[in-house]
Amino acid sequence: MDGIREAGGGVTAMPRWNSKPGSRMLAEVSLWSADLANLARDVERLSPYADAFHLDVADAHFAPDLLFFPDLVAALRRHTERLFHVHLMVDRPSKLVDRFVAAGADLVTVHCETGRLEVREAISRIRANDCAAGVALRLETPVSAVEPYLQQISAVLLLGTMPSVKGREPGPEACARIRSMDTLLDQHGLRSQVVIVADGGIRSHTVSELREAGADAIVAGSLVFQADDLAEIFAWLHSVGAKP
């Protein structure tokens, strides 16, 4: 997980993502919850602790907000060597992939709900850029919808709340969906290769439940940005369900 990004080549995005530790839960930090007027400062402040930074991209169509754009990602890329997970909550992700990979994304996740042709095109473009690909599912989408893409992806992101919703508890079905995804990946012999990311409703009292259900990573926002002691909160996150 600590691979170094080198200018002009060097360590590529896919090997960087695939070098993640498998013995403990991964903590992605959602930059949507950062101090938006001081993003670079917050990236540098959390880099010693975070496994990755999570950057939501929204187009005001697929999701109701307007969020992060490629030039901003490129500007932040200079402030950290941590992984960048770009989550495209947009109608046409294939049109944006190249720019976000060029900006410094290590993992680009696209939504299954945009349609099979669009998802296949986006994944193809992501992988052609030597970047890791992920597929995201909204809360109401059956976990089986990811099956056509399992052989081409490195991560599945399961939303626990509606897209672009902050400050809500995860839906009551969130843990059951993670368990179903865990089973599905195991059936395909891919459990050790595809990371299950839980996104939405990450609170101190929900982390253990999500981890027990099978989440390999969580996307934490206010949980870490409002913490008094960053070292303590990340040590706790990394210890939840850690394997010897």
pLDDT at 23: 80
Handedness of CA 28, 33, 39, 42 (dihedral sign): negative
CA distance 134 to 121: 13
C-alpha separations of 196 from 8, 14, 213, 214, 227 in Å: 31, 16, 10, 7, 25
What does the pLDDT read at residue 216? 95
pLDDT value of residue 1: 39
The residues assigned a catalytic role are 56, 199
pLDDT given at position 21 = 63
Q: Is 189 left (phi over 0), alpha (psi -120 to 50) or beta?
A: left
Answer yes or no: pTM beyond 0.85: yes
Task: Spell out the per-residue pLDDT of the chain, length 244, in tens.
Answer: 333 333 333 334 555 666 566 689 999 999 999 999 999 999 999 999 999 999 999 999 999 899 999 999 999 999 999 999 999 999 999 999 999 999 999 999 999 999 999 999 999 999 999 999 999 999 999 999 999 999 999 999 999 987 766 666 777 899 999 999 999 999 999 999 999 999 988 999 999 999 999 999 999 999 999 999 999 999 999 999 876 6
